[in-house]
């Protein structure tokens, strides 16, 4: 399978990035933690290079933030020694796209379109997916789509999906709180999978904080499995 971290980077790209002290430091311009964090670029240099990464973050006007992946034990320990605390452990869920798309979403419950309609932007705004995060979507170079979800004859949810190689990655899934627990999130994921299959994706994937128990339960119920994980460290 395609590197899921490469798929995350390609489908939710930073504004800019540069190397510093064995780290890849991203400039997020308000697009979220993932695009504003540093990840290990050269494992042997990362632990002694933390200060250089910190200085680069500060020069970019960002608080130092580091994203640690499963093989980054030495860098993780070095950050802990410097007083960085763990922030937002994240799980990556993945499933064969055809498996999720095998059951179609309810009739007229979802519509795929790009660029997003104004109503989709309004739904995302409600979910604190503001202009800076939507600018991240605009930067994506590969196939991408916004999916509008409907419930009770009204627009009530939206999701962004983008392709990297054989992986379709889900981002920015939001459902109106008044319409939750009625199957709309499930419909949006299935609609995302149907679009992914049309794009010849083999895998459907997404990242979600481990603390978001309802979302994790939904993805497991759909047959998705945790295939990797990461966490952040911040002061």
User: Among 84-88, 105-109, 131-135, which stretch is predicted with the lowest mean pLDDT?
Assistant: 105-109
Position 1 pLDDT exceeds 80 = no
Position 115 pLDDT exceeds 90 = yes
Position 149 pLDDT exceeds 80 = yes
With cut-offs at 50, 70 and 90, classify the pLDDT of residue 104.
confident
Q: What does the pLDDT average to over 212-226?
A: 97
User: Among 112-116, 146-150, 180-184, 219-223, which stretch is predicted with the lowest mean pLDDT?
Assistant: 180-184
Q: Are 2 and 142 in contact (CB under 8 A)?
A: no
Residue-wise pLDDT for 9-61, tens only, equals 999 999 999 999 999 999 999 999 999 999 999 999 999 999 999 999 999 99
Q: What does the pLDDT average to over 197-222?
A: 98
Beta pairing partners, 38: 25, 66
């Amino acid at each position: 399978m395609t590197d899921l971290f490469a798929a995350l980077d390609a489908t939710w790209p930073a504004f800019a990035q540069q190397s510093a002290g064995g780290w890849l430091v991203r400039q997020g311009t308000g697009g979220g933690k993932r695009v504003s964090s540093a990840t290990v670029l050269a494992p042997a240099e990362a632990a002694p290079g933390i200060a250089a990464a910190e200085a680069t973050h500060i020069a970019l006007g960002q608080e130092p933030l580091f994203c640690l992946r499963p093989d980054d034990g030495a860098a993780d320990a070095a950050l802990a020694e410097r007083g960085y605390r763990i922030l937002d452990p994240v799980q990556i869920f993945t499933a064969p796209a055809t498996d999720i798309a095998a059951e179609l979403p309810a009739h007229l419950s979802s519509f795929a379109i790009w660029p997003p309609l104004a109503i989709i932007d309004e739904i995302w705004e409600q979910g604190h997916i503001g202009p800076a995060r939507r600018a991240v979507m605009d930067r994506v170079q590969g196939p991408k789509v916004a999916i509008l979800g409907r419930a009770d004859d009204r627009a009530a949810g939206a999701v962004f999906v983008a392709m990297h190689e054989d992986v379709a990655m889900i981002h920015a899934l939001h459902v109106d709180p008044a319409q939750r627990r009625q199957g709309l999130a499930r419909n949006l994921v299935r609609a995302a999978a149907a679009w992914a299959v049309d794009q010849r994706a083999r895998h459907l994937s997404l990242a979600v904080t481990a603390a978001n128990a309802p979302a994790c339960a939904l993805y497991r119920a759909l047959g998705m499995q945790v295939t990797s994980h990461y966490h952040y460290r911040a002061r």
